[in-house]
Structure 1
Amino acid sequence: MGYPDQRFDVNLSILFTELPLLERPAAAAAAGFTAVELWWPWIDDPTPEQAELDALKQALDDAGTRLVGLNFYAGRLPGPDRGALSVPGEESDRFRANIEVAAAFAASVGCTALNALYGNRIDGVDPAVQDALALENLTAAARAADRIGAVLLIETLNKAESPDYPLVSAEAAIEVVDRVNTATGLGNAKFLLDLYHLSMNGEDLGRVIAAYASRTGHVQIADNPGRGAPGTGSLPLERLLDELTKAGYEGWVGLEYKPGDRPSAASFDWLPATARAAR
């Protein structure tokens, strides 16, 4: 496989998890990568002590790795409680408390993409109430992202693994992107195009790329079936990424796959070393 035209980063919340958090940036750098991304690392704490934030920044700086994507607080990931911003009560409060903390940390490390998972549907709560709460919180998140020169990402997940998550098609995510941009007037809400999740939903990936590449702020990949490295499943990822490039996408491609029963560093044999460092 070649992949000559993409900029790849490593998601340190699913790869290198055999190591403590603060050791992962150096491990990614040792594997040849200069860019990384993260889910919110403190899954039970939307507002960690400044010392913890400073320690992560120092680990990134020491490794020479740039953080190019960061999730807002979203509950426990991976897991069934995906997202917080549309969940009334304590979880929504925790998301709001996290907005400025996450944005400030992103600014401190030069991160320009913040991902906000929408949140599951909750039994006994009117979906319209959840959607109104989601728009309120996403509007606040988009404004915080704009203040640091970042985009706000809206992601589609897949029905099989996240049965209560309402955004399980590209169009559903794009509708939310449009609502947020209309509410703020900023235009900084973008689509997070995850080829694995979309494939799990049975989407025509070529159609999605053609329709929404220009509205995409970040891309993530894993093979299907299995959510492993490219080449472990049947997705034509090299061709799909080439289609994205031809459609004008020039952003980051996040490696968000499971390494399998081997160390994470051994799961990059599909990608030439020359293609790992950002150009």
Structure 2
Amino acid sequence: MPRLAANLTLLFNEHDFPDRYAAARAQGFRGVECLFPYAWSASDLAARLGDQGLTQVLFNLPAGDWESGERGIACLPGRDDEFRRGLETAVGYAKTLACKRLNCLAGVRPADLDPGRARDTLIANLDWAAAQLAREGIELVVEAINSRVDMPGFLLDTSASALAVMDAVGSDNLRLQYDIYHMQIMEGDILRTLACHLPRIGHIQFADNPGRHEPGTGELNYERIFEALDEMGYDGWVSAEYRPSTTTVASLKSLSRWLGAF
């Protein structure tokens, strides 16, 4: 059975963020992730994790000015110092939260930025970050995000583009974060792609498509996808990163079989 984690940024929004840890545990989750924990005290969040017996499985490196539309700064020339300071902050949180995996959002390429320069900047930042995190025993993952619906202009928008950058970095401490929702939009053929790239995948996220809601609301057969992941021998976390179509608890009915396995 896949080990399901809850993304606390998208799920359990009926509660204030610190209270979402208890809400997730009450529904059977043993792992949690979030986009960014930095607005809260790391020690307070660690206490919530400990109280609920939860594992923090992932969060993102600081990604620039999110409110103004930035979705990562790793591909932006001239932001190297900010990127490195962000990594230092993320490592501090990861140590306190006992989190062993951090995700780097490549960023949206400005229209006036040469694609090659953006890619070279990303490669240099990933190379540096992967080496720094290896010393801390923390894995770095990089994610492909669809550029058709959710993030127009996002630099890495297919598995192939992310893997090519990973090849250029050449680090054993850099793996792919595979988001099924995003890749269904961009390339489809989910089961074949997962099987092909599984040795290089460090983390998986899911939502149905269209709408980015819970399984059963769209076109993806998640019962078969989860079964296939078991058959492939994937033993990592699989995170629910969807927007509930009604309430979070109601949306979890589609996952009750797998949550019940805990």
Give TM-score, length-normalised by structure 2: 0.91
Change (3 A) 1:30 1:76: farther
Residue 197 of structure 2 is aligned to residue 207 of structure 1:
no
Residue 60 of structure 2 is aligned to residue 64 of structure 1:
no
Residue 125 of structure 2 is aligned to residue 140 of structure 1:
no
Change (3 A) 1:107 1:93: same
Q: Is the 8 A contact 1:214 1:248 kept in 2?
A: no
- Structure-to-structure mapping, 1:53-202, within 5 angstroms: 53-75=42-64, 80-90=69-79, 92-160=80-148, 161-180=150-169, 182=170, 184=171, 187-202=172-187
1:193-249 deviation line (CA, Å, top 9, x unaligned):
111000011322122112101111001010111111111112011212222222232
- Cα RMSD, aligned residues only: 2.1
Whole-angstrom CA distance in 2 between matches of 1:79 and 1:197: 22
Change (3 A) 1:76 1:57: farther
Q: Is the 8 A contact 2:206 2:241 kept in 1?
A: yes
Give the count of matched residue pairs: 261
SS of 1:271's partner is helix
Residue 58 of structure 2 aligns to which amino acid in structure 1? G
1:144-167 deviation line (CA, Å, top 9, x unaligned):
321232221111111221110121
Whole-angstrom CA distance in 1 between matches of 2:57 and 2:163: 22
Uncovered stretches (5+) of structure 2, i.e. residues with no partner: none
Give TM-score, length-normalised by structure 1: 0.86
Uncovered stretches (5+) of structure 1, i.e. residues with no partner: 43-47
1:5-42 deviation line (CA, Å, top 9, x unaligned):
11000001111233222111111111121210111133
Shift of 1:277: 7.2
Q: Is the 8 A contact 1:10 1:256 kept in 2?
A: yes
Out of 139-148 and 61-70, give the one that drifted further.
139-148
